[in-house]
Amino acid sequence: MGDDGAAAGAAAVATAFGGVASFAQNILDLRAAGCDIIVDDVQYYIESPFQDGLIAQAVNSVTASGALYFSSAGNSGNVDDGTAGTWEGDFVSGGAVGAPLNSKGGLVHSFGAATYNTVLSGGSIRRADLFWADPWGASTNDYDLYVLDASGSNVVHSSVNFQSGSQDPYESVNTLNVGERIVIVKVSGAARFLHLDTGRAWLSISTRGKVRSHACATNAFCVAAVAASTSFPNSFVGGVTNPVETFCSDGPRRVFFQANGTAITPGNFSATGGAVRQKPDIAAADGVTTSVPGFYSFFGTSAAGPHAAAIAALLKSYNPALTTTQIRNVMTNSALDIEATGFDQDSGSGIVMAFQALQAAPVPSPAPKVVTNGWTLLSEGCVPANGVIDPAETVTLDFSLKNTGTTNATNLVATL
């Protein structure tokens, strides 16, 4: 599991920590409870980068029904800031496996400059998760993952599950130390596109493409973070003044399979196959002050996600008639461009801004809005009066209605 947090709607909260299936069901339950905007900051390590799993499918379901979904991009670094701990690319043979990795045979992967990738410094979460482009639960190609000591002489950790057609294309090691070497071996089968993720460690040979999981669902908002302190006490201005946090995870996300395991580009599971999703979508502020105990100063993409969701909620409250497409367009088109010009792999469309978004939003259509200011029981038909309305009793009430809308109200019907 990745960053801490829980999925939340405007009027409901549900945990994300009961496992993948529970998380997915809770997303659906929030939508069923009437939540139009849902946000989380949780990722399970086992979520595939190449196929929408149960959680991403739940996100797809609620966004298809009209909800807006926001999720953190993650705090695992990016290539532009030299903090990347991800390697993606095609398997390339570096020759036959030798000692100390010759127990199962096969071919060792070449990262280009070497047949291993060295773990550098980074955050406290250091682990290795290897995925390859096979359908989930139906991997016919067998890959293994090894961690060697700094000299390359000894295996300190390994994940060597067999994949023979009904297993997941996944190997993982939950502990890494600085200086250790990561080695990937293709035991049998075909060459595939690989994704190696080291949590918040850095790698000596890295690529872009860290973002994955349900944050990369097609219509989810994958949110990067920009420190509020880069402009405080003034507003963000964009450009080079407000870059993403150096720990922000980068995109894009290449996927190879539909949710049901059907290949997007049958026969091509390489860097030229599949489909590319441009993620992250947007960026928002972190390093802000909150009234929540323990989060007086709230940093990370875990803070940026709910910040962006709150702006969406503001737009929704300003004009409830706005569609999800309209809200997405307003937020992205009014965002402040940062990092590379235009949409980029670190910040998407840029920093979403509440004031600019409200200025760009369509004005609500004039409509009446009738509210009651309460009522008073003046008289009762029963004797003696008991101060309540009883079944079949004739009563006299005094109540008022107020039209707080922008047009006249007609044809009012009241029901007691």
Interior/surface letters 289-306, b for 16+ CB within 10 angstroms, e for the rest: eeeeeeeeebbbbbbbbb
Question: What average pLDDT does the chain have?
Answer: 93
**pLDDT-derived band at 416, boundaries 50, 70, 90:** low
Given a cut of 60, whether residue 1 has pLDDT beyond it is no
Give the residue extent of every domain in the chain. Answer: 6-76+211-360, 86-203, 366-416
* Res 383: pLDDT: 81
* Res 352: pLDDT: 98
* Res 331: pLDDT: 98
User: For residues 165 and 293, what is the distance between their CA atoms, to the nearest angstrom?
Assistant: 48
* Res 3: pLDDT: 40
Given a cut of 90, whether residue 403 has pLDDT beyond it is no
Contact present, 193 and 88 (Cβ < 8 Å): yes
Phi, psi of 165 (to 5 degrees): 130, -20
Q: What is the mean pLDDT of residues 238-244?
A: 97
pLDDT in tens, 188-206: 999 999 999 999 999 999 9
Given a cut of 50, whether residue 10 has pLDDT beyond it is no
pLDDT in tens, 111-139: 999 999 999 987 788 999 999 999 999 99
Given a cut of 50, whether residue 402 has pLDDT beyond it is yes
Share of the chain above pLDDT 90, in %: 80
* Res 2: pLDDT: 39
44 or 389: whose pLDDT is higher?
44
CB neighbours (10 Å) of residue 29? 15
Tokens of 253: 């996300």
| Region of poorest pLDDT, from 63-77, 91-105, 231-245, 326-340 | 91-105
CATH code of domain 86-203: 2.60.120.380
At the topology level of CATH, where does 6-76+211-360 sit?
A: Rossmann fold (3.40.50)
Given a cut of 70, whether residue 5 has pLDDT beyond it is no
